């Protein structure tokens, strides 16, 4: 699927000064630095007080219980599509509902999965495990030994964060292996080399992590406990990760070491008996998969005659011999972008965007040539890969759009066929709305696409309550998706929804992303404001009825939009956010994102970051919209101190705001279905108060 670096996005992407403090505040003159103490008594007392005030406002609203019931019905529905994962010749799924909020890891056959009522076998009851051990365990996947895939390393998160404990598990006996491999909690990578040996990246000794908080030392670990260091990165790097290349029958054909120099720049080397052998690549390249003896990469910059965004292959045998030359597989056009790459047993699968709509191509390698065919899937929809089979050429694909619920398709890459196997029932009345795609003109003349989902019958007089979403970072595209909670709680009540495909995302490939990196970031914020003004010009909505929402990197967007253009919106939802951009690199995984934003410790970078950083640019006397700021105590990716300090700064200035911090669940905020339902109920009560009342 996506590269390991991209998987850490999900990407889906901290410092208040007193009123008189200028941009460039340091911890020494930041009166709210104490709010960065995640579990500190003073900080948690502040959180409890804020939560109580916000709950009184939002959860006492007459609409809250209705919104909560509707959201709970969505997130705990029994007729959801169970997300499939190929394993051991069958299908795995993690199932969460009101009776199992932490989840059941379960298994069935492919044939049974295709029926309306699959016969599931529970492998691990995560709720029972959490209760027995007195922990808030959440299942974060398993790394299983091929080809049988019955001996696995289970990833368990205590609270839903990125840090996990690893334990060996036997799926046949459905029990943890006595005396098996086990690693204490931490951010760590692990792959099987053979039944007796692992390659692991973790904090082996105190401090053996990069400045970003990720592993920097890779070791092989045997069942006897013997360890051998095979790679050591630098503290200033982002991470060191192992990639095991699986050949026929699950054998280990080779091991690649990725040294992450920055979030976007890496060195790739083969681990051989002679030591590390560098793979000739530009710094901005991502390893994607391995199939038919070919190691697959995407290029994020022009190199060797290849354009940015190109998909290329190296023959592994030639790499080992030092004679390899890259071969072009596919070069996206100007309105295309590669979103996902994955291998089946003998095919390479590529999910694309074309004008921000999805398609899937399957590539075959034979006779030294790559040839492709397009899978017969619905058009004008978002199409994403769910999983690919390592034992044959089958793959699952998800298809969705704003008004059409998710459907799951089982395709055969070799045959070029695809058939729908499951479909989500409609969660809201979609016939009242229509979807339009428009283009706004940004400050430098660039055309910015955006989607509008609005009521058909509403007058275009600027009165439609509208929620606008944006992200604009890390080359993460935001195509149309089916959002049942937005449909039920917002659109059914007459609201409109907008996705602004601003620069920084991956809608049109690497160039769309790289055009707003570092000192050019202001253009992404300009794009967002341009979409708002275009909505006003089309009389779809007005500043009185427009609200914005962003999370993670989107928190940079929403807080900058709030401080630079308070006149454009009447509601601002800031979730799991980055905000203090002069200190972000000191908090949690922030140092890994210097390639995106710049380094505040470098004077030139600090100057351009300080010009937009939402935390430092709040100004006394400005009439800001009342924001709703929310985060999670157990978010170990984006530090909760960002959200806390922004709220404290607003409080100091006498600016109205709401703040709520969930105490577990991690960065995604969706580990527990009940808490997720309450989260969205609060969101939409706030938005209804601000934009519909």
Q: Which residues are known catalytic residues?
A: 552, 667
Q: Nearest Cα to 489, choosing from 463, 465, 469?
A: 465
Give the CA distances from residue 445 to residues 26, 461, 526, 530, 531, in Å, rounded to whole numbers and listed in that order: 37, 27, 11, 10, 13
Relative to beta strand 571-575, strand 546-551 is parallel
User: For residue 456, with 0-12 CB atoms within 10 Å meaning exposed, 13-18 middle and 19 or more buried, which class applies?
Assistant: exposed
Q: Are 150 and 170 in contact (CB under 8 A)?
A: yes
Tell me which DSSP letter residue 81 carries. Answer: P
Three-class secondary structure of residue 222 per DSSP: strand
d(CA 175, CA 152): 11
The DSSP secondary structure of 345-381, one letter per residue, reads SS-EEEEEEETTEEEEEEEEEETTEEEEEE----SSS
Residue 496 bridge partners (DSSP)? 466
Sequence length of the chain is 693
d(CA 636, CA 672): 17
User: For residue 143, with 0-12 CB atoms within 10 Å meaning exposed, 13-18 middle and 19 or more buried, which class applies?
Assistant: middle
The DSSP secondary structure of 425-483, one letter per residue, reads PP-S--TTEEEEEEEEE-TTS-EEEEEEEEETTS-SSS---EEEE----TT--------
Q: Are 370 and 327 in contact (CB under 8 A)?
A: yes
Would you give the distance in Å from CA 67 to the centre of its chain?
26
Q: Are 443 and 526 in contact (CB under 8 A)?
A: yes
The interaxial angle of helices 41-58 and 673-687, nearest 10 deg, is 60
Phi, psi of 27 (to 5 degrees): -55, -25
Q: How far apart are the first and last CA of the chain?
A: 45
d(CA 333, CA 353): 10
d(CA 358, CA 492): 26
Six-digit token string for 295:
């190691």
Would you give the distance in Å from CA 158 to the centre of its chain?
20
d(CA 148, CA 388): 16
Handedness of CA 475, 481, 487, 489 (dihedral sign): negative
CA torsion, points 646, 648, 652, 654, in degrees to nearest 10? 70
Task: Tell me the three-class secondary structure of 665-685, residue by residue.
Answer: CCCCCCCCHHHHHHHHHHHHH
d(CA 446, CA 602): 30
Q: Give all strands (DSSP E) within 2-150, no chain letters.
A: 85-87, 90-95, 104-109, 121-125, 137-144
Q: Are 683 and 568 in contact (CB under 8 A)?
A: no
């Amino acid at each position: 699927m996506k590269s390991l670096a991209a998987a850490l996005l999900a990407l889906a992407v901290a410092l208040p000064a007193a009123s008189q403090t200028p941009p460039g505040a340091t911890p020494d003159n930041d009166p709210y630095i104490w709010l960065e103490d995640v579990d500190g008594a003073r900080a948690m007392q502040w959180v409890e007080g804020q939560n109580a005030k916000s709950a009184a406002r939002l959860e006492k609203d007459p609409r809250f219980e209705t919104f909560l019931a509707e959201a709970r019905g969505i997130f705990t529905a029994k007729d959801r599509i169970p997300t499939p994962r190929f394993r051991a010749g069958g299908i795995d799924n993690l199932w969460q509902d009101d009776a199992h909020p932490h989840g059941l890891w379960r298994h069935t056959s492919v044939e049974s999965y295709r029926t309306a009522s699959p016969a599931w076998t529970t492998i691990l009851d995560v709720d029972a495990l959490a209760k027995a051990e007195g922990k808030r365990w959440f299942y974060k996947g398993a790394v299983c030994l091929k080809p049988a895939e019955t001996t696995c390393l289970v990833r368990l998160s205590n609270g839903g964060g990125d840090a996990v404990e690893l334990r060996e598990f036997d799926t046949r006996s459905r029990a943890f292996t006595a005396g098996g491999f086990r690693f204490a909690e931490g951010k760590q990578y692990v792959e099987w080399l053979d039944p007796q040996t692992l390659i692991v990246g973790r904090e082996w000794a105190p401090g053996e992590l990069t400045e970003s908080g990720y592993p920097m030392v890779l070791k092989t670990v045997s069942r006897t406990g013997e360890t051998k260091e095979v790679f050591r990165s630098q503290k200033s790097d982002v991470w060191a990760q192992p990639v095991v290349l699986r050949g026929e029958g699950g054998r280990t054909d080779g091991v690649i070491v990725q040294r992450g120099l920055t979030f976007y720049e890496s060195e790739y080397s083969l681990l051989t008996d002679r030591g590390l052998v560098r793979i000739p690549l530009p710094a901005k390249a991502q390893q994607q998969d391995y199939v038919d003896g070919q190691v697959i990469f995407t290029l994020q910059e022009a190199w060797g005659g290849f354009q940015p965004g190109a998909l290329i292959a190296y023959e592994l045998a030639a790499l080992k011999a030092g004679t390899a030359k890259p071969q072009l597989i596919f070069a996206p056009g100007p309105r295309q972008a590669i979103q996902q790459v994955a291998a089946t047993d003998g095919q390479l699968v590529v999910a694309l965007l074309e004008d921000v709509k999805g398609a899937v191509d399957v590539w075959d390698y034979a006779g030294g040539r790559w040839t492709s065919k397009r899978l017969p899937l619905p058009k004008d929809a978002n199409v994403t890969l769910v999983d690919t089979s390592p034992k044959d050429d089958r793959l699952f694909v998800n298809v969705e759009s704003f008004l059409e619920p998710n459907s799951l398709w089982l395709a055969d890459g070799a045959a070029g066929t695809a058939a729908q196997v499951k479909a989500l029932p409609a969660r809201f009345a979609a016939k009242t709305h229509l979807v339009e795609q428009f283009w706004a003109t940004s400050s430098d003349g660039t055309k910015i696409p955006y989607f509008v989902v609005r009521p058909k019958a509403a007058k275009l007089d600027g009165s439609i309550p509208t929620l606008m979403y944006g992200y604009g970072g890390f080359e993460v595209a935001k195509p149309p998706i089916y959002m049942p909670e937005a449909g039920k709680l917002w659109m059914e009540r007459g609201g409109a929804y907008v996705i602004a495909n601003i620069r920084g995302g991956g809608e049109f490939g690497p160039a769309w992303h790289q055009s707003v990196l570092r000192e050019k970031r202001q253009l992404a914020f300009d794009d967002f404001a341009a979409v708002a003004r275009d909505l006003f010009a089309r009389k779809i909505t007005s500043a009185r009825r427009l609200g914005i929402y962003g999370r993670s990197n989107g928190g940079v967007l929403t807080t900058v939009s709030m401080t630079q253009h308070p006149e454009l919106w009447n509601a601002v939802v800031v979730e799991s956010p980055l905000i203090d951009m002069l200190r972000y690199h000191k908090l949690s995984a922030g140092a890994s994102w210097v390639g995106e934003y710049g380094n505040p410790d470098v004077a030139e970078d600090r100057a351009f970051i300080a010009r937009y950083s939402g935390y430092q640019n709040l100004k006394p006397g400005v009439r800001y919209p009342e924001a709703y700021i929310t985060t999670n105590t157990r978010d170990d990716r984006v530090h909760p101190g960002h959200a806390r300090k922004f709220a404290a700064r607003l409080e100091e200035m006498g600016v109205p705001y709401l703040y709520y911090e969930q105490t577990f669940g991690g960065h995604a905020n969706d580990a527990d279905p009940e808490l997720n339902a309450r989260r969205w109920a609060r969101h939409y009560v706030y938005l209804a108060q601000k934009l519909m009342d």
